[in-house]
Amino acid sequence: MNKLTITIDGPAGVGKSTVAKSLAKYLEIPYLNSGALYRAVAWKVSKQGVDSDDEDAIISLCKSTTFVLAVSDDCQAVAVDNTRLTRELWTSHITLMASKISRLPDVRSFLRPLQRKYGNDNGVIAEGRDMGTHVFTDAEIKVFLDASPSIRARRRFLELQHSDTAVSQEITAKELMERDNRDRTRHSAPLRPASDATIIDTTDLSAPQVVDTILALIKQKNHQTGHSTD
Ligand code: DC
């Protein structure tokens, strides 16, 4: 029996990665962090000193580079040509650059087939901004996670505390809102729930509670379709 394709979209700081990784582990389904691919492109663009608005230069750079996602335990990595990147992709500089280059339609078109390659009979849990709306439009389970801006800023701030890029809560909140605004208002695949997505407000929920809510959704869906994740 083919395994499920599950999409988890939502704004920055909502807790998508924690929930998606934990579900992937529990269901034994591969995990795709699409943001890591946008970050890898941003890293290459930044390394080559290309302007983040120069779509033609960015695309020709993308076409001459290989990007391969790898997950080992909790650590999301991307191999850019022969360089394996992990923490380098989550600096505030790359976060800003990824947010800028992800507005470009050609960058999105370049990454889309690469992301789809991760969806097959083994199933996938894909997290991002447009997984349910553009990349895995036929996914059996689509979830859109949301939470109040203040709780997302708080979660993101706590996450950054454990990294090299710790900044104040105020700056974290401001950057998060700017990124959010860019993601929601861009013309190409803006952040929004798919029409067939289940929206979960996680403001008052812990990560395990969100995981349980999604597992209940899966169970309900399997019950309706006779599908099995085994
Ligand atoms: O999920 P993340 O914060 O690591 O994503 C980094 C940036 O990439 C984010 O600002 C928006 C962009 N992104 C996107 O446009 N579409 C996706 N599916 C995933 C990420």
Of the chain, the percentage scoring pLDDT greater than 70 comes to: 93
Phi and psi, residue 170, nearest 5°: -65, -45
Span 89-97, average pLDDT: 91
- Asked if 15 and 204 count as a contact pair (C-beta separation under 8 A), the reply is no
What are the boundaries of each domain within the chain? 5-218
Which numbered atom of ligand 1 lies nearest the CA of 12?
3
pLDDT digits (tens, 9 = 90+) for 200-230: 999 999 999 999 999 999 999 887 776 555 5
Nearest atom (ligand 1) to Cα of 186: 15
Higher pLDDT, 194 or 221: 194
CA of 219 to the centre of ligand 1 (A): 29
pLDDT at residue 120, rounded to an integer: 79
Rounded Cα distance between 207 and 91, Å, is 24
Whose C-alpha lies nearest to ligand 1, atom 5?
Answer: 35
Taking phi over 0 as left and psi of -120 to 50 as alpha, with beta for the rest, 220 belongs to: alpha
Mutate which of 33, 38, 89, 159 for ligand 1 pocket (most atoms within 8 A of beta carbon): 38
Looking at residue 164, what is its pLDDT?
A: 57
Give 5-218's CATH code, choosing from 3.40.50.12160, 3.30.70.590, 3.40.50.720, 3.40.50.300.
3.40.50.300
Q: Closest Cα to atom 10, ligand 1: which residue?
A: 99
Mean pLDDT within 67-75: 75
Cα angle: 223, vertex 214, 219; to 5 degrees: 15
State the sign of the Cα–Cα–Cα–Cα dihedral 162, 164, 166, 172: negative
Ligand 1 test: best mutation among 129, 165, 176, 181, most atoms within 8 Å of CB? 129
Decide if pLDDT at 49 tops 90. yes
Q: What is the pLDDT of residue 173?
A: 87
User: What is the pLDDT confidence band of residue 166, given thresholds at 50, 70 and 90?
Assistant: low
Provide the pLDDT for residue 215. Answer: 96
- Which residue did the predictor score with more confidence, 157 or 67? 67
Please list every protein residue whose CB sits less than 6 Å from any atom of ligand 1: 12, 34-35, 38-39, 98-99, 102, 128-131, 179, 183
Which position has the higher pLDDT, 212 or 171? 212
Determine which residue's CA is closest to atom 16 belonging to ligand 1.
129
pLDDT band at 23 (very low <50, low <70, confident <90, very high): very high
Query: Is 0.85 surpassed by the pTM of this model?
Result: yes
Q: Give the pLDDT of residue 73.
A: 58
Average pLDDT, the chain: 90
Return the ligand 1 atom nearest residue 102 CA. Answer: 15
- Among protein residues, the one with the nearest Cα to ligand 1's atom 2 is 35
DSSP 3-state percent helix, strand, coil across the chain (nearest 5) = 50, 15, 35
